[in-house]
Structure 1
Amino acid sequence: MEHFALGHWLLVLAYLTSVVGCALGLACAVQARHAASPRHRMRWLVLAAISIGGVGIWLMHFVAMLGFSTPGMPVRYDVFRTVLSAILSVSSVFAGLVVVGGRAKFGWWRLALGGVITGLAVNLMHYTGMSALRVKGDFGYEGGLVALSVVIAVVAATAALWFAVFLDRLSLRLLAGFVMGAAVTGMHYTGMAAIRMNMNMNAPDPAGVEVFSFLFPVFVLAAIAMAVPLCAVLMAPPIKPEAPAAVPAEKAVTV
């Protein structure tokens, strides 16, 4: 079993893919908090979920799996479960963002709950996507590393949401993209390290499709998933800083 059959450059590409998707999605989440109406807020959160869940998480997983192989034996994927993993990723991230980014007022409980939901969305996508894997044999997971992958995703996702949504400096929002990208990538390879495969040379070739057979449509959809939120963010008016609360004038003292 190999994770870098095409070279370690794929790790860098997967990480940068996640950073771009997460940073763009978190920028949309910031816009959602300052939206003029609930309808506009939901639109921004949908764009954020597509960017983070579809590109930052699912596409990163897809890119990383290009380097997965079982030398001398075929690897196939179930298309339905692969598509299902993308849908679950986007919808789960949306749920987390609604909790943490759907209000303009800060709340620690919203941040914690949103971080847990978003972090678990990373794990949900990964292990659902891995259930689509078909090899000559079967495989399971080491429980300790699976638990570690969950912790990595939840902690880093919570930190990224805090950086992006509750701090005003652009540099910290960009840093949030790198933090969340590290969470997604670190969770992926921790989850892959947890795999324990039992290969069987005498087993029939697995059913399904090769990963490269749907490479083109995936990247076309990914380009659209990034282009729409990017255009929306670039065309959005600049966020105005919140005006400080008015201080009531002191009443005149009557002598």
Structure 2
Amino acid sequence: MQGTVDGFSYGLVTPLVAYLMACLGGALGLRCTTRALLVAHSWRPGWLALGSAAIGSGIWTMHFIAMMGFSVEEAPIHYDKATTYASLGVAIVMVGIGIFIVGYKGASGTALFTGGTITGLGVASMHYLGMAGMRLNGKLEYNTFTVAASVVIAMAAATAALWAAGQVRGLMWSVGASLVMGLAVSGMHYMGMAGLSVHLHAAPGSTSGDSPAALLAPMLIGPLAFLCLAGVVVMFDPLMIMGKPDWAPAEHKPGVPAHPAVEHTGRRAPLRSRRDEAQRRSRTPQGR
């Protein structure tokens, strides 16, 4: 017996709110990734870790807000908390691996492809592991084509977003990238859901039970609070409006050593060496 699936129990409310959460997580995560490319190596892991957690929390929150609008008419839905939170962990870890690759290897070439692929697979893994945490009197069945299409969308979106983060072109560039990423992540979610059908077991019994919103709302408190905290950190960062990087030559003042993360290469170092040598010779008495 096929169940009657409704993915929009609250109309457009859940898709719109879910999209906004995906954009928020993407904006914070990409902002942190961009910021990591502008700081010394000692600070880079912290910004990349914050960006990974922000993107992972954002897409996880987006998924389960969207799932608040998902229902099966003939069967109540419950969620296994262990599997649900495991999907959050998978999202953060896999997104983190991809972001760290790009953060240290650069947003181009093989590093970008590898980082984007792993990040996209993290988004898809979060989605389908979260779906595996659903408990109802039936079996979830997926269309192979739509599942494959949703994974491709996730990988393409992640690669494009990481490429945009590596361009370092300003706040509006990051905002635009986050809007695109939010659209792609939401599209991936609803593409996967479009290929879902529910085969109910015989004698479903009572259909009474808590609504998906009542079940999921308490689980969302933690990730939502984290996103707010991450937003505060990004907002109060002094270089939020893409100021000059910590190692910018324009910020080096006479008498102040350059940042230790910067290697003095090119013409500047030899010129300084010749000048110092000339000063040393001028202070040395003739004939000595």
TM-score by length of 1: 0.87
Shift of 1:217: 3.3
The question of whether the paired residues in 2 share the 8 Å contact of 1:79 and 1:209 is answered with: no
Q: Aligned partners of 2:166, 2:210: CA distance in 1, in Å?
A: 40
The question of whether the paired residues in 1 share the 8 Å contact of 2:112 and 2:162 is answered with: yes
Map 1:22-101 to 2 at 5 A. Answer: 22-38=26-42, 40-55=43-58, 57-101=59-103
Q: Aligned partners of 1:205, 1:161: CA distance in 2, in Å?
A: 47
Distance 1:212-1:193 versus aligned 2 partners, 3 A rule: same
1:155-182 superposed Cα distances (whole Å, 9 cap, x missing partner): 1111111112224132221111011111
Q: Aligned partners of 1:30, 1:54: CA distance in 2, in Å?
A: 18
Map 1:172-211 to 2 at 5 A. Answer: 172-203=173-204, 211=212
Q: Which amino acid aligns with 2:9?
A: A
Identify the residue that residue 222 of structure 1 maps to in structure 2: 223
Identify the residue that residue 164 of structure 1 maps to in structure 2: 165
What SS is found at the alignment partner of 1:138?
A: strand
Distance 1:200-1:26 versus aligned 2 partners, 3 A rule: same
Identify the residue that residue 23 of structure 2 maps to in structure 1: 19
What SS is found at the alignment partner of 1:166?
A: coil
Shift of 1:243: 4.6
Shift of 1:193: 0.9
Q: Aligned partners of 1:71, 1:37: CA distance in 2, in Å?
A: 54
Aligned-residue RMSD, C-alpha: 2.4
Q: Aligned partners of 1:108, 1:181: CA distance in 2, in Å?
A: 24
The question of whether the paired residues in 1 share the 8 Å contact of 2:6 and 2:72 is answered with: yes
What's the % identity of the aligned pairs? Answer: 37
The question of whether the paired residues in 2 share the 8 Å contact of 1:89 and 1:121 is answered with: yes
Q: Which amino acid aligns with 1:91?
A: V
What SS is found at the alignment partner of 1:50?
A: helix
Distance 1:219-1:76 versus aligned 2 partners, 3 A rule: closer
The question of whether the paired residues in 1 share the 8 Å contact of 2:75 and 2:204 is answered with: no
Shift of 1:233: 1.6
Q: Which amino acid aligns with 1:202?
A: A
Structure 2: runs of 5 or more not aligned:
251-264, 271-288
Shift of 1:84: 0.5
What SS is found at the alignment partner of 1:21?
A: helix
Q: Which amino acid aligns with 2:137?
A: K
* 2:139 is aligned with 1:148: no
Shift of 1:83: 0.8
1:6-37 superposed Cα distances (whole Å, 9 cap, x missing partner): 11221111111100111111101111112223
Structure 1: runs of 5 or more not aligned:
250-255
Decide which structure has the larger Cα Rg and report it.
2
Q: Which amino acid aligns with 2:56?
A: G
84-93 or 162-171, which deviates more: 162-171
The question of whether the paired residues in 2 share the 8 Å contact of 1:28 and 1:229 is answered with: no
Q: Aligned partners of 2:14, 2:61: CA distance in 1, in Å?
A: 13
1:97-127 superposed Cα distances (whole Å, 9 cap, x missing partner): 0011235x55321111111011111100000
Q: Which amino acid aligns with 2:104?
A: G
Distance 1:88-1:187 versus aligned 2 partners, 3 A rule: same
The question of whether the paired residues in 1 share the 8 Å contact of 2:79 and 2:215 is answered with: no
Aligned length: 246
The question of whether the paired residues in 1 share the 8 Å contact of 2:52 and 2:92 is answered with: yes
128-137 or 29-38, which deviates more: 29-38
Distance 1:141-1:240 versus aligned 2 partners, 3 A rule: same
Q: Which amino acid aligns with 1:162?
A: W
The question of whether the paired residues in 2 share the 8 Å contact of 1:75 and 1:210 is answered with: yes
